[in-house]
């Protein structure tokens, strides 16, 4: 194992990270099998080894930030599992209509008690807008208000919310702006909660895939759902929005994205957090929108997602011991690593989150808010 340790130490050289060092971003290796696993399986092995307690770190977010900035993921050769996943992702439509429910079953339907343990009171599972605040509750309300202002919502508008989550945005738009909302989702847990909190409001929560949306709308919004669409379906998604949006309407897309155009996502994230997830690049979004939409505004909110993830981590830690027994220690370590590794990725500028306001080709420019 000493050879493996030496190789890992050499890879870490220049990142400012040491094995068994004294700084908060240094890692403490508790099982010597860690070295071979990381060298063989890369980011997948790193995440799995943390879940199993083979290593610890006081500040995982900064550790991940440093190894991403040091481009260590490019220095460790891909293993056969990663290569096979890449080939399958390139050849197959992993987000087809028949496979779309996988993400709902394996992630969003894990149990509302889990998600509500760390989310704000409006249950916003996307980045807040920490403009002049450090409070998650306020940041999430600011995010909702920002979206509604960019859409230029009016009381007589019909709003389509594609991938409505637990219904927080739909409820906010109906309550604060008086518009009617059609909210679409495929997660049973989220649909049930959204219908409950939107009772008495002009909100219809529809259980359907985005490809089966019908009707016409004045405004369309999609927050944190495009990451599950997949590159083979980006064009179809834009076609659905285009045919559903009135000619003078506004479409706001809020999505996490990557700096490079890829056909898959991080192997650990894919296996344990978001199966079949895929982060689009600006080029991929632009190509899908080409001929259908004019981009009116592009707002990079990446630093706000780092803050959001750290807030979620803190809340999760406070609620950790109160979670049901079905969420065991391995599961809890998995979610800790998810929050902190993603925060580190945003800090390293490895991933971004964009709000992109669009209008249909040929439509009159709307005075959208520029953040």
Where in the chain are all domains bearing CATH 3.40.50.150?
Answer: 100-360
Q: Mind listing the pLDDT tens digit for each residue in 125-165?
A: 999 999 999 999 999 999 999 999 999 999 999 999 999 99
Is it the case that residue 319 has pLDDT exceeding 50?
A: yes
pLDDT band at 83, cuts 50/70/90? very low
Rounded to an integer, the average pLDDT of 71-87 is 58
pLDDT band at 97, cuts 50/70/90? low
Is it the case that residue 281 has pLDDT exceeding 80?
A: yes
Q: Distance between CA 214 and CA 70 in Å, rounded? A: 47
Return the higher-pLDDT residue of 275 and 206.
206
Spell 313-332 as b/e; 16+ CB within 10 A means b.
bebbeeeeeebeeebeeeeb
Residues marked active site are found at 342
Q: Distance between CA 67 and CA 92 in Å, rounded? A: 31
Would you tell me how many other CB atoms lie within 10 Å of the CB of residue 265? 21
Is it the case that residue 65 has pLDDT exceeding 90?
A: yes
Question: What does each C-alpha distance from 285 to 30, 49, 263, 290 come to in angstroms?
Answer: 43, 34, 13, 9
Return the closest-CA partner of residue 308 out of 140, 159, 186, 100: 140
CATH of domain 100-360: 3.40.50.150
The secondary structure of 101-132, three-state, reads: HHHHHHHHCCCHHHHCCCCCCCCCCCCCCCCC
Query: Residue 182 phi/psi, 5° resolution?
Result: -110, 115
Q: Mind listing the pLDDT tens digit for each residue in 43-52?
A: 999 999 999 9
pLDDT band at 237, cuts 50/70/90? very high
Phi-psi region for residue 72, left (φ > 0), alpha (ψ -120 to 50) or beta?
A: alpha
Would you tell me how many other CB atoms lie within 10 Å of the CB of residue 189? 18
Q: Mind listing the pLDDT tens digit for each residue in 213-231?
A: 999 999 999 999 999 998 8
- Residues 122/172, Cβ–Cβ less than 8 Å: yes
SS3 271: helix
């Amino acid at each position: 194992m000493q050879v493996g340790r030496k190789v890992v130490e050499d890879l870490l050289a220049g990142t400012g990270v040491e094995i068994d060092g004294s700084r908060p971003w240094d890692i403490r290796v508790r099982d010597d099998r860690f070295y071979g696993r990381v060298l063989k399986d890369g980011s997948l092995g790193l995440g799995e080894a943390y879940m199993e307690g083979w290593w610890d770190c006081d500040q995982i977010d900064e550790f991940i930030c440093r190894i991403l900035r040091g481009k260590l993921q490019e220095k460790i050769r891909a293993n056969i599992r990663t290569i096979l996943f890449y080939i399958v992702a390139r050849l197959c439509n992993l987000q087809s209509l028949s496979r779309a429910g996988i993400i709902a079953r394996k992630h969003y339907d894990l149990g509302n008690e889990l998600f509500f343990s760390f989310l704000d009171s409006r249950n916003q599972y996307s980045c807040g807008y920490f403009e002049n605040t450090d409070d998650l509750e306020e940041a999430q309300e600011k995010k909702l208000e920002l979206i509604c202002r960019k859409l230029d919502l009016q009381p007589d508008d019909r709003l389509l919310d594609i991938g409505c989550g637990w219904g927080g945005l739909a409820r906010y738009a109906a309550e604060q702006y008086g518009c009617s909302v059609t909210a679409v989702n495929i997660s049973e847990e989220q649909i049930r909660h959204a219908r409950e909190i939107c009772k008495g409001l002009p909100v219809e929560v529809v259980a359907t895939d985005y490809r089966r949306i019908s009707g016409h709308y004045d405004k369309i919004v999609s927050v944190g759902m495009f990451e599950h669409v997949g590159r083979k379906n980006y064009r179809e998604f834009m076609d659905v929005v285009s045919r559903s949006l009135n000619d003078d309407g506004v479409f706001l897309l809020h999505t996490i994205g990557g700096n490079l155009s890829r056909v898959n996502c991080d192997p650990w994230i894919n296996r344990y957090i978001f199966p079949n997830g895929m982060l689009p690049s600006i080029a991929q979004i632009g190509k899908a929108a080409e001929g259908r939409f004019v981009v009116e505004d592009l707002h990079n909110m990446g630093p706000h997602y780092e803050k959001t993830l750290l807030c979620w981590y803190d809340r999760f830690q406070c609620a950790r011991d109160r979670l049901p027994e079905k969420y065991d220690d391995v599961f809890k370590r998995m979610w800790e690593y998810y929050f902190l590794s993603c925060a580190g990725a945003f800090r390293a500028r490895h991933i971004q989150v964009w709000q992109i306001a669009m209008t249909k080709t040929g439509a009159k420019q709307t005075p959208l808010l520029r953040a």
